[in-house]
Amino acid sequence: METHDLEKEYLKKNYIKLLVPICVVLVLAYLNYAINYAVGYKLVYVHHSHAVAIILWVLLGFFQLELLVYWVLIFLVGPGKSPVFPPIDLYSENNKGLIPLPDLFFCDEKGFPYYCSNSNSIKLERSFFSKDVGYNVIKFDHYCIWIGQPIGQDNYLFFMKFMMGFLAFFIIVLIYCARFTRESIQQGEIDHNFIVLFVMSGFWIIMIGCLFGIHLRYYIDERPFDMGFRRNWINLVFNGNRNHGKDDEFYTLWRLAAAFVVFIIPFIDIPFSFRGKLQVKDDVEQELHEQENLLAKYTVYSSVVNDKFMNMIDEKLKKNSYSAPGYLVETTPQNNQSTIDKDSI
């Protein structure tokens, strides 16, 4: 099957994913007509105050510009692509084509690292192969059907700012509708656009507000990768949404306050996000041997678990509350029983 045919088949199967963002744009166009013309001009500008109407148009224009910019950035930056990693050297064979055994990796019930057959690569923790982009997404969160793009490590902050812009847009719509509904009724009959605006703004404020709150809660306490409130917020804004790679001096109270400011104010986060985007320097790679290079890259792209999680692992080992990895189990010829050296875990 030719590439063109594959693309047509993919578009046919995923037409809903393409239609939903288009519908969002069309609904947004109607909302602009309803709030800016039916309410802003015909009611506020003509019968109430020119200044109040202009403030409405400026605010809605600003937040819709924010929506557009972050929508484009979510696509432009992408969710974050994981490199293709070869298998891990589980038996310490010193094979140059394998990743040297790391101190810790996430595994299946038999102790083997997770492998992605779609990309022929070892999977990092929280990574997921997305057919929409064709690669393993680092710290995959979800596919946002409203935006039309997967959300991962690299575009997660932009997604949060996108939600903030949409939430602010509907809050302004609701405030103006609540303020000028009585004036509309006093003119003889309420404009039917008010009904639609009340329903749409009320519904989406609840939906986006709940979703935004869930994501805030998720990022504040992302077990087992939670590094504490201060580090989590600083990492999101100033460290490319990674939870390691900086020393303790990086996580100051001043930088935490700056992270809140950058998070709240639109657009000023963009240069920090690009500067903090994950990059493996070529000069560093050239100074390492091939195996060291593989392990270093695997470590850089992985997330670090916190001390609480490591203590839990130590406790389970002390209590013999673990399952032996399949590749470490040896079978004795006498009784065909499995034995394992605890120190090898």
| 144 given a catalytic annotation | yes
**Secondary structure letter of residue 248 according to DSSP:** G
Q: How far apart are CA 192 and CA 34, in angstroms?
A: 9
- Length of the chain, please? 345
Residue 27 CA: distances (Å) to CA of 109, 160, 292: 47, 21, 53
Of the listed 23, 107, 116, 144, which one is catalytic?
Answer: 144
CA 58 to chain CA centroid, nearest Å: 30
Among 81, 79, 82, 83, smallest CA distance to 154 is for: 79
SS3 252: coil
Q: How far apart are CA 61 and CA 71, in angstroms?
A: 15
Q: How far apart are CA 240 and CA 130, in angstroms?
A: 21
Secondary structure, 3-state, 129-172: EECCCCEEECCCCEEECCCCEEECCCCHHHHHHHHHHHHHHHHH
Kindly state the tokens that stand for 114.
């997770």
The type of residue at 260 is: F
Beta strands 149-151 and 115-116, pairing class = unpaired
Active site positions, annotated:
144
